A and B are shown apart, each in its own frame.
Chain A
Amino acid sequence: MLTKIRDPVLDEICPALPPRVREAVRALPDSERQSLLEIRLRRGRPAMGVTAEGDLYLCCAGQPVACTEEEWAAAVRLVTQCSVYALERELSAGFVTLPGGHRVGLVGRAVLDGGELRTQSELSSMNYRVAREMPGVADRLMPYVLSADGARVLNVLILSGPGLGKTTLLRDIARQLSAGRGTGSDRECGWGWGPGPGSGSDRGCGSKRDSRSDSGSDSTPQSRLEPRHGAGSNRECGSECGVGFGFRVGIVDERSEIAACSQGVPQNELGPRADVIDGCPKAAGIMMMIRSMSPDVLITDEVGRHEDANALEEAARCGVAVIATAHALDPEDAARRPVLREVLAQGAFDRAVVLGRSLGLGTCERIVHLRSGQDLAARPFRLERSARIGGM
């Protein structure tokens, strides 16, 4: 039986585009459409697609499509689902999340209330950011997310500028932890992310063999940290025996980007042990998640406010591991931002993963052991989706 392959642009983004732009996107060759990272609409100006290689004009009948007033109104209606009143918080934050977890950034005229941004009106630009699931993209990072024995999740902060794959990576880490890869089950199941042959002692302490100083031949972390494939698979051990080994993952999904919940059901694959609190401010959501679902690990996106820092500190006190993302170029840059400086000073994170694009989109530039400041990865490496999708 033929299975329809999900195309996030066609299936989830196109319905929220005005008709002519929709046609232009549909008319793109498959390869170009699949490489779209963003679709940008500006009122009265040509619509553009953004790819890793550059921008392209979206054309209809050979002409770039510039949204008319009517089309712009239609785009606003489609993005807001004619429910501006339900999106006040999102509009004041400057984005709306579409089904499938795609974020649409919106800017226009700010409406202030007592000096505070209440919402926006007269929108002038929209940026549809395509969220793609990349199962396996975190494979090469999982050894750094787990303790040496694979029994404990470390506190990890993923850093990068916008649009470099933080959320995609975070989602796959959540999936893998929830699905049971790299858990204590490795010992029984023989499939996981424990130290590979010859990897030596705890990578978490920045052992010389993993550090940049040991960047000789065959010293890339992944070469030593390949998953172990033993007697059986996690699937066999977990689902067929009826016993699961994985981490309880609590996802605080303020912007509905990680899980993309629809009617309470995550639209993205997050494994069997993930609990999602959707659309809730991070600080409140973290505390609620800890109290209600007792997670082993908390996953949240874009830490940036003081209350987030307090909640993360509280999570650390409760013994819950945290994996979060933040906008910063590297740990040094993060330390210049007041909130992140506070979080880092509290020792809330063990490691920082820095994403960039030196080897293309989805490059892990550095993995930093935050207490010692040592780089754990010998050199930048690409994070790529895997053909083998692990988990239960």
Chain B
Amino acid sequence: MTVAVKLAGGVLTVGASGLLGLMVAESYRARERELAAWITALTALQTEISFGHTRLGQAMRSAGLASGGVPARVLESAAELLESGETGGVGECLAEALGARPGEQRDEIDALVVLGRRLGTSDAADQARHIGLAIRRLEGSRAKAEDAAARNCRVWSSIGFLLGGMLTLALL
């Protein structure tokens, strides 16, 4: 009976610890995917603005639909704020939609808020340049995220189980 309980406890410890490791590994992959989605969204926004001359609210929605995921939710929310006319400029609308706090350092938030200050204020060629700059910045972040994911995902996937096993052995 005691052995069975110990065995069950050990399995639970290894499982929980392994799951935590997998979650950390997944967070690296998710960040990489999110940055890729933002790049897709901004590329779609660039197309809508440069070629479609679509109004910004609608352009944001279309860009969100093209990318899906987090950017779709953020851009939809920013478009709503923008069209309500109650929340200042595009930068403020994007910051509010992102839930950004002052001083927050995440690359995509910083890039989007900086871009937001310029969005819609100049001609299509200038807008394309600004969006292009933001895309390049996000591509740099994505390259870093890819590198981090390649380094850390495999480590975290196994380290969780390993630590769980060690802890189980120590407790036994």
Q: Which residues of A contact B (CB under 8 A)?
A: 15-16, 73-74, 77-78, 80-86, 88, 118-119
Stretch at the interface among B21-29, B49-57, B159-167: B49-57
Beta-carbon contact of B85 and A80 below 8 Å: no
Q: Which residues of B contact A80 (CB under 8 A)?
A: 120
Interchain Cβ contacts under 8 Å between A and B, 30 examples: A15-B85, A16-B85, A77-B85, A77-B89, A77-B120, A81-B82, A81-B120, A82-B56, A82-B57, A82-B82, A82-B90, A82-B119, A82-B121, A83-B54, A83-B55, A83-B120, A84-B121, A84-B122, A84-B123, A85-B49, A85-B53, A85-B120, A85-B124, A85-B127, A86-B49, A86-B53, A86-B54, A86-B56, A88-B123, A119-B123
| Cα distance A85–B123 in the bound complex, in angstroms | 4
With CB as the reference atom, state the residue of chain A lying closest to B88: A74
| Cα distance A119–B54 in the bound complex, in angstroms | 18
Beta-carbon contact of B123 and A81 below 8 Å: no
Q: Which residues of A contact B59 (CB under 8 A)?
A: 83
Distance (whole angstroms) from the CB of A10 to the closest CB of chain B: 15
With CB as the reference atom, state the residue of chain B lying closest to A119: B123
Q: Which residues of A contact B89 (CB under 8 A)?
A: 73, 77, 82
Given A82-B90, A82-B120, A83-B55; 6 other pairs, CB 8 A cutoff: A80-B120, A82-B57, A83-B54, A83-B59, A84-B121, A86-B56
A86 touching B121 in the complex, CB below 8 Å, given contacts A15-B85, A73-B89, A77-B89? no
| Cα distance A84–B120 in the bound complex, in angstroms | 5
Name the contact of B57 in the complex, choosing from A15, A74, A81 (C-beta under 8 A): A81
| Cα distance A16–B119 in the bound complex, in angstroms | 19
Distance (whole angstroms) from the CB of A139 to the closest CB of chain B: 37
Name the contact of A78 in the complex, choosing from B55, B85, B122, B126 (C-beta under 8 A): B85
In the complex, which residues 62-115 of chain B have their Cβ closer than 8 Å to any Cβ of chain A? 82-83, 85, 88-90
Q: Which residues of B contact A86 (CB under 8 A)?
A: 49, 53-56, 124
Name the contact of B56 in the complex, choosing from A16, A73, A83, A118 (C-beta under 8 A): A83
In this complex, the member of A16, A78, A80 whose beta carbon has the largest number of chain B beta carbons within 10 angstroms is A80
Q: Which residues of A contact B82 (CB under 8 A)?
A: 81-82
**B104-148 interface code vs A (CB 8 A; 1 in, 0 out):** 000000000000000111111011000000000000000000000
Q: Which residues of B contact A82 (CB under 8 A)?
A: 56-57, 82, 89-90, 119-121
| Cα distance A77–B126 in the bound complex, in angstroms | 17
Q: Which residues of A contact B124 (CB under 8 A)?
A: 85-86, 88
Q: Which residues of A contact B126 (CB under 8 A)?
A: 85
| Cα distance A74–B121 in the bound complex, in angstroms | 12
Q: Which 4 A-B pairs have the closest CB atoms?
A: A82-B120, A85-B124, A86-B53, A83-B55
Distance (whole angstroms) from the CB of B129 to the closest CB of chain A: 11
Q: Which residues of A contact B120 (CB under 8 A)?
A: 77, 80-85
| Cα distance A381–B122 in the bound complex, in angstroms | 47
| Cα distance A82–B85 in the bound complex, in angstroms | 10
Beta-carbon contact of B90 and A85 below 8 Å: no
| Cα distance A219–B121 in the bound complex, in angstroms | 58
Distance (whole angstroms) from the CB of A214 to the closest CB of chain B: 55
With CB as the reference atom, state the residue of chain B lying closest to A111: B123
| Cα distance A74–B84 in the bound complex, in angstroms | 12
| Cα distance A118–B53 in the bound complex, in angstroms | 16
Q: Which residues of B contact A118 (CB under 8 A)?
A: 123
Q: Which residues of A contact B57 (CB under 8 A)?
A: 81-82
| Cα distance A159–B122 in the bound complex, in angstroms | 36
Q: Which residues of A contact B55 (CB under 8 A)?
A: 81, 83, 86
Q: Which residues of A contact B83 (CB under 8 A)?
A: 81
Q: Which residues of A contact B54 (CB under 8 A)?
A: 83, 86
Q: Which residues of A contact B88 (CB under 8 A)?
A: 74
With CB as the reference atom, state the residue of chain A lying closest to B60: A82
In this complex, the member of A77, A80, A85, A119 whose beta carbon has the largest number of chain B beta carbons within 10 angstroms is A85
Distance (whole angstroms) from the CB of B114 to the closest CB of chain A: 16
With CB as the reference atom, state the residue of chain A lying closest to B83: A81
